[in-house]
Amino acid sequence: MSGLRIFDDNAPGAPVLDTGDATEIAAHLATIGVRFERWDSPVTLPPDAEADAILDAYRPYLDRLMGETGAGSADVI
């Protein structure tokens, strides 16, 4: 799950935006040049899946993204 909170520098007590909606998150981040995508897993991975299994499961998404951006690698953190 992803979430985005945006605060006003002059009124940091409450967010001016608080959303978990992927479309809304992507739209707001795009205004500052940040690309946001939420990918569905093609398989169900166990919570303790190894990094290689995670990368293999998401390989089609990663290959597309790396081809579009020129990124040379992907990591699981």
Low-confidence ranges of the chain (pLDDT < 50): none
Q: Are residues 73 and 60 in the same domain?
A: yes
Tell me what pLDDT residue 28 has: 97
Tell me what pLDDT residue 41 has: 81
From the list 47, 27, 45, the residue with the least C-alpha distance to 37 is 27
Count of domains forming the chain: 2
Q: Are residues 32 and 15 in the same domain?
A: yes
Q: Are residues 33 and 20 in the same domain?
A: yes
Q: Are residues 33 and 45 in the same domain?
A: no
Q: Are residues 11 and 25 in the same domain?
A: yes
Reading the block at residue 45, the tokens are 């991975």
For residue 23, give its domain range.
1-38
CB 58 within 8 A of CB 76: no
Q: Are residues 46 and 31 in the same domain?
A: no
Tell me what pLDDT residue 39 has: 86
Q: Are residues 1 and 33 in the same domain?
A: yes
